[in-house]
Amino acid sequence: MNKKKWLIIGFSFLSLLMVVNILASNFFYDLAIKREQKDFLADNEDLVVSASAMNVFLEGGWREWVNTQSFENWEMESYDGLTLQGYYLEAEEKIDRTVVFSHGYLGQGRDMGLFGQYYYEELGYNVLMSDMRGHGDSDGDYIGFGWHDRLDLIDWVNRVIEHQGSDVEIVLHGLSMGAATVLMASGEELPDNVKAIVADSPYTSTYDLFGYQMNRMYNLPSFPILPTTSVVAQVRADYSLKEASALEQVKETDIPILYIHGQEDTFVPTSMTEELYGATNSHTEMKLFDNAGHGEAFAIYEETYVERLNDFLNRFVTK
């Protein structure tokens, strides 16, 4: 076979690989980022919830609490023209402290009532929960994994200041994707009103998370599909997976951060929180919970969780 035929065969093979790579990258974009039902998570062993946590998640009194509160519906237009929905609850007694929550992947704002009830009833905070873009009643045909959401979060913070006044002190509290969101926001120029951040079960970056999950769920290496998926995300959702990095953002922050993670979390490995903790520029603390899976710490160890939370907040939120 002459050299020309070998070149044609080689070029055809590379072209085929390129087409397969592009198709696979669009598949993974649709699978994880496009707004649609995510059936692939239904049988994910890494998301199997312990019986004790499941009882709290499904039947805990916090759900009734959420359903019986008189939340104000707040609507906001994002920087890129999306209509976002928020749910604000004024404290029973006037106070200049507000918690702004960020929920997890495929969740919605009211899911953070799991924590919101405690902030409201025991700490006396005003509470703001919002549906992130691509979730709940908010607009958006893609999931931002925290990157564009960090800017939405800053807009919500400014909305709170506008409503509560310039003296309000604000805590950002996020779970899973919401935890990555509050960390991504931490590296921006946040108002001085933001006094503390609580990040429960965060990931270092969207790229790292996708790479981990591709290997764990599909036994696939990151290269070459993941870099191409990042390009697809840039084209279709206007962000790359690498730039959506909580790790790079916490290197710039000056806001105190409390990290929380379950030691048995195999969906977002505990090592990611440990890496974030080590890279954070500001005052930082970390609490790891034994025998807790992804996002389970509060449900299983509420007493210990709130004890550590209170100690942290009492030192950085003064009003």
Q: For residues 172 and 115, is the Cβ–Cβ distance under 8 A?
A: no
- How far is residue 164 from each of residues 11, 151, 194, measured CA to CA in Å? 64, 20, 13
Question: Mean pLDDT, to the nearest integer, of 191-203?
Answer: 98
**Residue 231: which of 244, 221, 240, 222 has the closest Cα?**
240
Question: Could you tell me the domains of the chain?
Answer: 33-205+244-316 (3.40.50.1820)
**In this structure, how many other beta carbons lie within 10 angstroms of the beta carbon of residue 71?**
18
Q: What is the pLDDT of residue 37?
A: 83
Range scoring the smallest mean pLDDT among 20-29, 36-45, 91-100, 259-268:
36-45
pLDDT at 9 over 60: no
Confidence tier at 277 by pLDDT (50, 70, 90): very high
Q: H/E element holding 284?
A: strand 284-289
Confidence tier at 22 by pLDDT (50, 70, 90): confident
Q: List strand residue ranges (DSSP E) for 57-212, in order.
A: 72-77, 83-89, 97-102, 126-130, 169-175, 194-200
What is the tens place of the pLDDT at every residue in 119-165?
Answer: 999 999 999 999 999 999 999 999 999 999 999 999 999 999 999 99
Which pTM does this prediction carry? Answer: 0.93
Phi-psi region of 180 (alpha: psi -120 to 50; beta: other; left: phi over 0): alpha
pLDDT at 15 over 90: no
Question: Mean pLDDT, to the nearest integer, of 104-131?
Answer: 97
If one compares 45 and 204, the residue with the highest pLDDT of the two is 204
What is the tens place of the pLDDT at every residue in 220-276?
Answer: 888 899 999 999 999 999 999 999 999 999 999 999 999 999 999 999 999 999 999
CA distance 277 to 247: 9
Q: What is the pLDDT of residue 133?
A: 98
**Residue 291: which of 61, 49, 57 has the closest Cα?**
49
Indicate the average pLDDT of the chain: 92
Instruction: Strand 257-262: give its sheet, edge to edge.
Output: 72-77, 83-89, 126-130, 97-102, 169-175, 194-200, 257-262, 284-289
Query: What percent of the chain stands above pLDDT 70?
Result: 90
Confidence tier at 60 by pLDDT (50, 70, 90): confident
Pairing of strands 194-200, 257-262: parallel
Here the tokens at position 204 are 């270092």
CA distance 59 to 244: 34
Q: What is the pLDDT of residue 53?
A: 82
